Amino acid sequence: MTALHLLDNSLRRYDWGSPTRIPALLGTVPDGRPVAELWLGAHHSAPSRAGGVPLHELVRSAPDAMLGRQVSDRFGPRLPFLLKVLAADRALSLQVHPRPHLARAGFNRENRLGIAPDSPERSFHDDQHKPEMVVALTEFDGLAGFRTPRTVLDLLAGLDGPLVAQMRTALETDRSPAGVRSAFTHLLAARTSAQCPGEVATTVEAVRDRLASGSPSARADATVLALAEQHPGDPGVLASLLLNRVTLDPGEALFLPPGEVHAYLSGLAVEVMASSDNVLRAGLTTKRVDSEALLECASFAPRPPAVPDRTTSGAQGGVHTYRAPVTEFALTLADVAGGADLPGSGPRVVLTLDGEVELHAAAVPRPTPLSRGGSVFVPHDAGALRVSGRGHVVCAWVP
């Protein structure tokens, strides 16, 4: 019989996470340790469970019923997206995600080298690319994509230190993406130098003095100082001057295509992505920095951060759908005050952010109640989906 599958989801505890925000969502008592991410999906490294069964096994057991023939034919017998709740009290690593052919090549290369799947020396954990989209639930701060060389040179003007001098020279010599790449490469290379922490500190002090004197670049300077406090001596602190600084208000969204250098800084958000755990780090981390793979995968073309398409529907305009130029995922957020229609076909994952609601699926006899933090996997053969009650819900789906 067709059913909606209640989910038991995985928590990821990273040092940048908030000790309170995800426990508050789940209605659990904080234990003082940071909780960075809640994963809702079928990625093999941390799958959700439905009735004790890992979600990827449930999907593989009946792919046409679970995914629908169209999704199954396009992506194979797997859920193509991964939904997360992300709660950051500190900056995440400066990172990039690979494009499809580079993900396959990197994964196969590390397999041939015999690097264990759970080894900290592994950069590629699967063979999938990882475009992602984030929608803010609170004010949400980040860095995304490269500023224009002219803007970066204005930010570097008057700052002391050999690292910023190298960056300045690279951008003055070549204001194309190649020059941006050269400036960024200087920072990556500096990580191996014993002089790097002192060189970073020299520039941080210059930034501090500039900010105290009434800097016209106060936001960029404040970001440098905040990152220097979290990651003293890390050249990723100075890389923030190369990148666009972004603040999202609740309901605003950002799309990160593969190859986009970025770092989230703080806030609570929902995030949906292709089902992958491939992260290539450049700094602001104690984890592995794979400079060679990152430089191969990254895009250095200056451009403003990408904003996904957003449409509004529902009787009171409370249903917002976000679409990015990818085939794996879309996201719908609904402010339910009575009832609202959710996407009606394909595999769906629904999470209740607050309130008390019921999910009504066309092919399921009884509604499924959900309260704050509750989530379900909705298979394709459950049919059209409607939510009633009062609360806010998130639905990840395949467009």
Distance between CA atoms of residues 206 and 227, nearest Å: 15
Annotated catalytic, 245? Answer: no
Token digits of residue 311: 């449409």
The one catalytic residue in 99, 181, 210, 281 is 281
Compute CA distances 303 → 57, 147, 245, 248, 249, whole Å.
Answer: 41, 6, 12, 17, 21
SS3 content of the chain, % helix, strand, coil (to 5): 30, 30, 40
Strand partners, 281: 95, 289
Length of the chain measured in residues = 399
Within a 10 A sphere around the Cβ of 65, how many other Cβ atoms?
A: 15
Asked if 257 and 121 touch (Cβ cutoff 8 Å), the reply is no
Distance between CA atoms of residues 102 and 97, nearest Å: 10
Residue 50's φ and ψ, nearest 5 degrees, are -120, 110
Asked if 202 and 161 touch (Cβ cutoff 8 Å), the reply is yes
Distance between CA atoms of residues 96 and 137, nearest Å: 23
**For 263, how many CA atoms within 13 A lie in the half-sphere containing its CB?**
27
Asked if 250 and 74 touch (Cβ cutoff 8 Å), the reply is no
> Mind telling me the catalytic residues?
281
